[in-house]
């Protein structure tokens, strides 16, 4: 381990994404060459399409000879297809690369964001972003290629219209401008419906968690099951569908309005031609109408892609919000391959100096403050932390473990304060089995560690249930007490200098409970490790060197 203070990760621009636009630009920046190339190819395709229309128009007027028409037609067809194809492929690649970058970055954010922030965000909201928002972005990336080509063709056509007749172009621009303005207003309405539907997705994820994690309880409690099904799930699902439908309806109306503007231009120009045939050449008008009708396809493609763009914008906002969770030390701190594999030196002591930690009062609860308190944990000692339910024991160990950073006071490692950017290094000193622990079954080395694992499995009556094979346990489908014993074995194998148990013995039968306090803890201590145990087992408090009693968030006695 590098000593705290010497290994802060570099500061990063990705630490906090400010807005969806900033996020989109940042995501596109690494692929700017490809973006530029597809834009150029799209422009080439658009210009070739416009020229193709000019050639067709000339041919319809009977201008030019057959041979030059055939060459120009063939060459421009090829250029248009090539440009469109290359632009489509380029934007499809960029789209997928962006989705990969977003997925990677989101996962990295979750792995590195402060625990307190993740606890506030709640799992169901994280899942909604990891699933729905990334899917929305992915969906948009699929229409992106067609959209790019459609924009290029539309621009090429508009360019040709200017050449064909500047006055008619101005009229077209005016009417289309009105159409676009009206469309934008309606689109905002549709966007608001999509945003409301997205907010309801968070609720849906919460209900999904309830039906999967609470499956057993729901089988037992019919009224709750019926309530969850009808009042929560069905209602939320229907609400989302209604909001989406209303959003899509508005978008559809907006698109029809856009098409109406195009028809209005065509109708208006034809009427003007009839009214003043001498002022506007009939051939110009037929060319104009031909181009406008041709433009309708790409324009509708653009309008059709807007709902998808709308959802992607909302998704980007959510992703940016999650990104703003902040990290503890820069660009993907603590995620570089090979990091943290070295031996971790043992500190002589860790001191919490006048620390406090505050859960602010909120709609969800009255708030709670731990501390201010001062305590020192020394190398090789065993400490039991005890106190009534809700007095702050788990909060205290989260502070000791560096999972929460104190709202006031300092944590000192051998007398030196742990500074911002050093917490991830600091946390590598510890192994812990939390009350709500997750059992990871992999990452075991073979050889000496395998022999030690076999010995421990035997000692904890698990040798007949599971075994270490290819660096992971063959099964973790065990009883609650057995799983917790396996978690203890993993902790022992990790070899970290400080080990923390949050009410480990709660599920164990008297025999294992006795063995935990009288054999496991002394063994860990003999290895020179510091042992911290959160416990309500009064009969075993004497097994530890020292007892820390908490009362209402303060040290008692």
Ligand X SMILES: Nc1ncnc2c1ncn2[C@@H]1O[C@H](COP(=O)(O)OP(=O)(O)OP(=O)(O)O)[C@@H](O)[C@H]1O
Q: Which residues bind ligand X (CB under 6 A)?
A: 119, 359, 365, 368, 387, 389-395
Would you call 33 exposed, middle or buried from its count of C-beta atoms within 10 A (0-12, 13-18, 19+)? Answer: exposed
Query: Which residues pair with residue 532 across a beta bridge?
Result: 383, 500
Nearest to 397 by CA among 421, 415, 375: 375
CA distance 440 to 313: 36
CA distance 438 to 441: 10
CA distance 494 to 489: 9
Two tokens, residue 447 = 């050889």
Two tokens, residue 149 = 């080509």
Q: Please provide the distance, in angstroms rounded to a whole number, between the alpha carbons at the two ends of the chain.
A: 37
Would you call 94 exposed, middle or buried from its count of C-beta atoms within 10 A (0-12, 13-18, 19+)? Answer: buried
CB neighbour burial string for 457-476, b if at least 16 within 10 angstroms, e if fewer: bebbebeebbebeeeebeee
CB neighbour list of residue 554: distance below 8 Å, 6 or more residues apart? 371, 373
CA distance 254 to 258: 6
Two tokens, residue 466 = 């599971």
Residue 402: count of CB within 10 angstroms of its CB:
23
CA distance 143 to 301: 9
> Pairing mode, if any, of strands 430-433 and 468-469?
unpaired
- Is the dihedral angle over the CA atoms 103, 201, 140, 23 positive or is it negative? negative
Alpha helices (H) in 214-234, listed in sequence order: 215-220, 222-227
Peptide bond into 372 cis (omega under 30): yes
Two tokens, residue 439 = 């059992």
CB neighbour list of residue 155: distance below 8 Å, 6 or more residues apart? 43, 46
- Is the dihedral angle over the CA atoms 497, 501, 507, 509 positive or is it negative? positive
CA distance 519 to 531: 13
Sheet holding 546-551, edge to edge: 430-433, 498-502, 530-534, 382-387, 546-551, 554-555
Alpha helices (H) in 343-447, listed in sequence order: 393-400, 423-427
DSSP 9: P
| Three-state DSSP string of 151-167 | HHHHHHHHHHHHHHCHH
Q: How far is CA 464 from CA 194, 303, 394, 400, in A?
A: 55, 64, 33, 36
């Amino acid at each position: 381990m590098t000593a705290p203070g010497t290994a802060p990760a570099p500061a990063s621009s990705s630490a906090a994404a400010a807005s969806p636009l900033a996020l989109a630009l940042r995501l596109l920046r690494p692929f700017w060459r490809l973006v530029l190339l597809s834009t150029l190819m799209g422009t080439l395709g658009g210009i070739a399409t416009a020229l193709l229309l000019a050639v067709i128009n000339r041919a319809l007027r009977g201008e030019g000879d057959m041979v030059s028409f055939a060459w120009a037609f063939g060459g421009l067809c090829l250029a248009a297809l090539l440009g469109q194809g290359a632009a489509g492929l380029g934007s499809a690649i960029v789209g997928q690369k962006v989705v990969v970058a977003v997925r990677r970055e989101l996962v990295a954010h979750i792995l590195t964001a402060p625990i307190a922030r993740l606890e506030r965000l709640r799992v169901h909201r994280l899942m909604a972003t990891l699933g729905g928002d990334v899917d929305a972005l992915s969906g948009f990336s699929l229409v992106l290629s067609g959209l790019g080509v459609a924009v290029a063709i539309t621009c090429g056509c508009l360019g040709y219209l200017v050449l064909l007749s500047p006055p008619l172009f101005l009229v077209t621009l005016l009417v289309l401008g009105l159409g676009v303005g009206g469309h934008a207003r309606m689109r905002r309405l549709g966007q608001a419906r999509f945003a409301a539907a997205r907010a309801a997705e968070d609720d849906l994820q919460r209900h999904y968690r309830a039906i999967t994690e609470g499956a057993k309880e729901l089988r037992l409690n019919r009224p709750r099951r019926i309530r969850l099904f009808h009042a929560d799930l069905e209602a939320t699902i229907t609400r989302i569908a209604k909001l989406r439908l209303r959003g899509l309806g508005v978008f559809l109306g907006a698109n029809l309005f856009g098409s109406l503007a195009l028809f209005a231009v065509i109708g208006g120009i034809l009427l003007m031609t009839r009214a003043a045939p001498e002022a506007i050449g009939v051939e110009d008008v037929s060319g104009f109408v031909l181009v406008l009708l041709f433009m309708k396809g790409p324009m509708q493609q653009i309008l059709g892609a807007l709902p998808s763009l709308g959802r992607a914008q909302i998704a980007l906002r959510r992703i940016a919000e999650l990104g703003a969770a902040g990290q503890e030390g820069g660009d993907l701190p603590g995620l570089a391959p090979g990091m943290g594999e070295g031996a971790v030196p043992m500190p002589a002591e860790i001191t919490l100096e006048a620390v406090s930690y505050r859960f602010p009062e909120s709609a969800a609860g009255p708030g709670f403050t731990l501390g201010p308190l001062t305590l020192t944990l020394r190398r090789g000692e065993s400490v039991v932390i005890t106190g009534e339910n809700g007095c702050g024991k788990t909060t205290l160990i989260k502070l000791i473990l560096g999972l929460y950073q104190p709202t006031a006071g300092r944590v000192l490692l051998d007398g030196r304060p742990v500074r911002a950017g050093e917490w991830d290094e600091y946390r590598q000193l510890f192994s812990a089995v939390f009350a709500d622990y997750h059992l990871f079954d992999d990452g075991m080395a073979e050889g000496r560690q395998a022999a030690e694992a076999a010995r421990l499995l035997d000692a904890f009556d698990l040798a007949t249930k599971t075994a270490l094979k290819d660096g992971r346990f063959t099964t973790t489908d065990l009883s609650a007490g057995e799983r917790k014993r396996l978690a203890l074995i993993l902790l022992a194998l990790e070899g970290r200098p400080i080990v923390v148990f949050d009410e480990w013995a709660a599920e164990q039968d008297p025999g294992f409970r006795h063995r935990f306090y009288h054999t496991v803890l002394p063994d860990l201590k003999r290895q020179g490790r510091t042992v911290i145990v959160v416990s309500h087992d009064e009969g075993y408090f004497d097994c530890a060197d020292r007892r820390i009693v908490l009362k209402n968030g303060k040290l008692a006695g």
